[in-house]
Structure 1
Amino acid sequence: MHADQLTVSPDAVRGLIYDQFPEWRGLTIRSIVSHGTVNAVFGVGEHLAARFPLQPGDVETTRRWLRAEAEAAAELVGRTRFPTPEPVALGEPGPGYPLPWSVQTWIPGVVATDDDPGESPAFAYDLAEFITEVRAIDTRGRSFHGGGRGGDLRSHDVWMETCFSNSEQLLDVARLRRIWAVLRDLPRGGTGDVMTHGDLVPGNVLVSDGHLAGVLDVGGLGPADPALDLVAAWHLLEAGPRQALREELGCDDLEWQRGKAWAFEQAMGVVWYYRDSNPAMNRMGRRTLGRIVADNSSA
């Protein structure tokens, strides 16, 4: 999926785990098919998952990043009624893999990429409950920092220009540029940053019988624009359940539109970047943009 992507084989993973965590030597190691874009994931027995970053980096920088992810995951455990992964251990570089890696609990279930909950009002209400409970976590004085999603929409203009330029043969770029020109200027409301999951896309959401069954990839938990987790409305829901989510959360027009803006920014990137390497992410981006275009047309 990435030009400089690292590879890690099941044999290398087995060696790293058995050498560094001998108490797990009796457990089966299996590769997990995932639509994720950040880590290669391997099951360790029935209750653990080992995650290996896909992109190369400095060892100490990667170690700090993994520790920060583990702290975020630990902060979320038990704060909602929906299962989320718990950090278990950090592994070190070794034969077959050059970076630190992590182990967390395995959350069983079917991702929304494979079992679409988009028409389920029950799922929308569950999602609203999750977002509300995450927002209720104390920021402890922290605020958004960094260049990712969750701060100033206009700071993404250079990236969006890259996305538009690379999408000329894929999408109606002229129309999408007009939509972004409006969305990018939406101001922040009067509220400060709140805690957010940060990446509520289908591959990070588990579903069962039209309900939310768990949430994955929680290492990005942190303070951000309260509208950030509203990307889920556009990535995961059709019009009726989307409106149910909005009403349950009590979103005003500005917050709702900013959520749309963050979803738009994310979707524009995944369509061209994962055009050939990750069909599920590509389809998600196209579907999200289609929902946003349709919503704008009906406004």
Structure 2
Amino acid sequence: MSDEENTSGRPDVSTTLARRLIESQFPQWAGLPLEPVLPGGSDHAIFRLGRDLSVRLPRHAGAISQAEKEYRWLPRLAPHLPLAVPEPVGVGRPDFGYPWPWAVSRWLDGATATVEGLSECADTAIRLAGFLSALQRSLPEEMRRAEAHDGLDAPSLSQRDRSTRADIALTGDVFDAGAMTELWEAALEAPAWDREPVWFHGDFHTGNLLTVGGRLSAVIDFGGLGIGDPACDLIVAFTLMSAESRAVFRSELGVDEATWLRGRGWALSTGLNAYTSYAATHPRVAAQTTRQIVQALAG
């Protein structure tokens, strides 16, 4: 078995492989130190390249569009956003047995946001609302005339119905199955987004926020970036915020009842998916997703 692949169908992304890819495709950076960032992410193996660059190689097929999507869109969006976002500088191609596009971006300093540090912070809630408002205003006029462009289609809650109901059944001994079913059905029945499509981040939760000096500094991981209903970005209100800061966030963002209800549905569904997939073996994920589910049920 090689360093680059295994029998699971997912490539083993080693530092040796990453170094070979860089030396072959970006020789201008071949001499820079390369260190893995641990524990990394579930979607990407991450390396720091020198002082100023990061390298991200997808771990599975579901993440393979991110490198090219960020390279195309983030330079256009970044000037309009009040928080830092990744600055792509190159997209690598498959080679040496590694099958997918991969990314080189400017390194963003910061620590991952935590509930302990920010959940009660009204300023954080205001800044997150400001970021989403700016993102939603950034859609060029020519893109407002079409709701889907090159992989930017908006997902829908209804596509998650079967899996979410299965997850509710699996977790009925941990959470209130009746309350989860009631919320889920209400979210599905809520009026759909009937305004112009807007940009959404698509994976807007605590793990994709960075802080410097305890203050929110950057938003990362735009693999879910798309155009349509922004309700999915309300997940952050249930992964990070307390009831009080959540109320500030909702007021600042001006979220109507139907969109808020759909956002609660997104938080419930994604929280259940992560809980059933990882909680048994990852205590940190179990704690985070338990909080997300409980907060979504609380509203």
> TM class, shorter-chain normalised?
0.7 to 0.9
| 2:230 corresponds to 1:229 | no
**What is the SS of the residue equivalent to 2:79?**
coil
Show the counterpart of 2:29: 24
Q: What is the one-letter code of the residue matched to 1:28?
A: P
Unaligned runs of 5+ in 2: 1-7
Match of 1:36 among 22, 41, 53: 41
Q: What is the one-letter code of the residue matched to 2:58?
A: P
Cα drift, residue 116 of structure 1: 3.5
Q: What is the one-letter code of the residue matched to 2:73?
A: A
| 2:293 corresponds to 1:292 | no
- 1:55-74 Cα offsets, whole Å, 9 max, x none, are 158xxx94x66323321322
Q: Answer whether contact 2:153 2:227 (CA < 8 A) is retained.
A: no
- 1:265-287 Cα offsets, whole Å, 9 max, x none, are 21111111122454443332211
Q: What is the one-letter code of the residue matched to 2:49?
A: V
1:51-62 matches, within 5 Å, as 51-56=56-61, 62=64
Closer/same/farther in 2, CA of residues 286 and 88 from structure 1, 3 Å limit: same
Cα drift, residue 160 of structure 1: 1.0
| 2:72 corresponds to 1:68 | no
1:233-272 matches, within 5 Å, as 233-272=237-276
Unaligned runs of 5+ in 1: none
- 1:167-205 Cα offsets, whole Å, 9 max, x none, are 345433343122212222111243232111111111100
Closer/same/farther in 2, CA of residues 286 and 66 from structure 1, 3 Å limit: same
Closer/same/farther in 2, CA of residues 34 and 199 from structure 1, 3 Å limit: farther
CA distance in 2, matches of 1:90, 1:8: 17
| 2:188 corresponds to 1:184 | yes
Q: What is the one-letter code of the residue matched to 1:98?
A: P
1:149-164 matches, within 5 Å, as 150-164=154-168
Moved more, 195-204 or 144-153: 144-153
TM-score by length of 1: 0.86
Give percent identity, aligned residues only.
Answer: 30
Closer/same/farther in 2, CA of residues 81 and 259 from structure 1, 3 Å limit: same
CA distance in 2, matches of 1:67, 1:170: 40
TM-score by length of 2: 0.86
Q: What is the one-letter code of the residue matched to 1:54?
A: R
Cα drift, residue 214 of structure 1: 0.4
Q: Answer whether contact 2:113 2:216 (CA < 8 A) is retained.
A: no
CA distance in 1, matches of 2:283, 2:41: 11
Q: Answer whether contact 2:186 2:261 (CA < 8 A) is retained.
A: no
| 2:221 corresponds to 1:217 | yes
Count of residue pairs the alignment pairs up = 289
Closer/same/farther in 2, CA of residues 65 and 132 from structure 1, 3 Å limit: closer
1:94-173 matches, within 5 Å, as 94-95=95-96, 97-113=98-114, 116-139=117-140, 140=143, 141-144=145-148, 150-173=154-177
Show the counterpart of 1:80: 81
Q: What is the one-letter code of the residue matched to 1:212?
A: L
- 1:244-281 Cα offsets, whole Å, 9 max, x none, are 11111122222222221211121111111122454443
- 1:51-93 Cα offsets, whole Å, 9 max, x none, are 1111158xxx94x663233213223222212111011112222
Q: Answer whether contact 1:84 1:215 (CA < 8 A) is retained.
A: yes
Cα drift, residue 233 of structure 1: 1.1
Q: Answer whether contact 1:77 1:84 (CA < 8 A) is retained.
A: yes
**What is the SS of the residue equivalent to 1:188?**
coil
Show the counterpart of 2:199: 195
